[in-house]
Every structure is written in structure tokens, then in C-alpha cells.
Amino acid sequence: MKLFLVRHAESIWNKEQRIQGRKDPGLDEVGIRQAKALAKRLKEERIELIYSSGLKRCSQTARIISKQTGAPIKFHTGIEEIVLGDWQGKTVEEVRKEYPKAYKKWLDAPSKARIPGWEGIPKFMRRVNRTFEFILNRDSATSVCVVTHWGVIAAYFSKLLNTSFDWFFKRVRVDNCGISKVCYKDGKTIIQHINDTRHLKEKR
């Protein structure tokens, strides 16, 4: 199986630097252009099936991909973004001012942050890993696209690389509509690339 993990296109709140979590803003105009460029690129990969988070920023991205590739979409709550509690809906600057210690800890080691009402990294990691096990074992499709969120991609690659979520979070960038490709063959797992954005040139 070839697995293409895609972060959703730019949302209204991405542009505003507003923390999303499980809140549900849709794509902005830039995001729609990004998603169309992404879909055109993925058509070359002969995508057979799309799994998507049900949140608008992902579902809108997934539908644009589906329209271009003809692949059906399955929505799954297991690949929705981490719940970020009281931070959701606030701008980064508001969080920095209202929760200075927790925000600093989030930047240094997110698993140790104390965010009121959040899901927490261990619980989030278990959810994400269970969902990817389901996807890998459930379908016979050989080319699958997963439209999801930055946190979900970080959680899954942390497991593949046998490292911590904190390590990946601090060191690896995943842009809106960046493509990460993993191949599973003969019992081997091969990461071919992370955050490929060649298709996004001049799409802002």
C-alpha cells in the first residue's frame, strides 16, 4: 500500500493564527487554490480511496481531491485534530498572554503542557495509532490518501520513527497541503518523503 498523508488546505483560522483544535472553520480562498493544486498532483498517484477527518477544513480539501481523482471518501473521527480545550478559538497571541507558562511548555515539550480541557498527548497518540492500524488492515486499496491535521501527522510519524511526539513537533514542519508518503510492502515500512509542497508554487 502507498499511503499519502495530507494536511488540510489553509483555513480562515490558519490565516488569522487562531488555534483550531476541534473547532470547525472552513477553507479560505488561498486554501481552495491550494486544494485544487494538491488534487491535480494526487491524480497522478492514482488514488483509490480517501480517508478524511470530518472537520470542514479537511472535508472540503478531501472533496476537491475526490472530484479530481474520482476516489470515494470515508470520514473517520479517529483522524480529527487533538482537542485543545480552552485554547480553541483564541489567537496565538491571546494564548501567549493568558497562559504564558503553559504556552511556553507547549512550544518546548507539548506532552507536558497543561491546557484546561484538552485531550492530552498520550490519549491522542493512542487514538491516532488505533485509527491508522484500522486503515492499514481494513482496505485492499493500494493507493490511499488520508486528509487530516498537523497533530495527527506528527503523532503517526512519531510512531514510525520511534521517537517522541515532542521531538517531531519541534523539528519537523508540515505545511497546509503538504504531502507525506509512506509505502508498506513485504512487511517493510518505507517513508519516502515528508511535507512535499512542490505542487504549491505560486498558489498563495
**Catalytic residue annotation:** 8, 149
Cell of 183: 509505502
Query: Which DSSP category does 112 fall into?
Result: G
Q: Which residues contact 126 (CB under 8 A, 6 or more apart)?
A: none
The rounded Cα 204 to chain-centroid distance in angstroms is 19
**Range list of H helices, 99-200:** 100-108, 121-138, 150-160, 165-171
How many angstroms separate the Cα of 6 from the Cα of each of 35, 52, 87, 117? 10, 9, 24, 27
The answer to whether the CB of 176 falls within 8 A of the CB of 29 is no
Query: CB-hemisphere CA count at 13 Å for 44?
Result: 5
Residue ranges of E strands in 56-128: 73-75
CB 34 within 8 A of CB 40: no
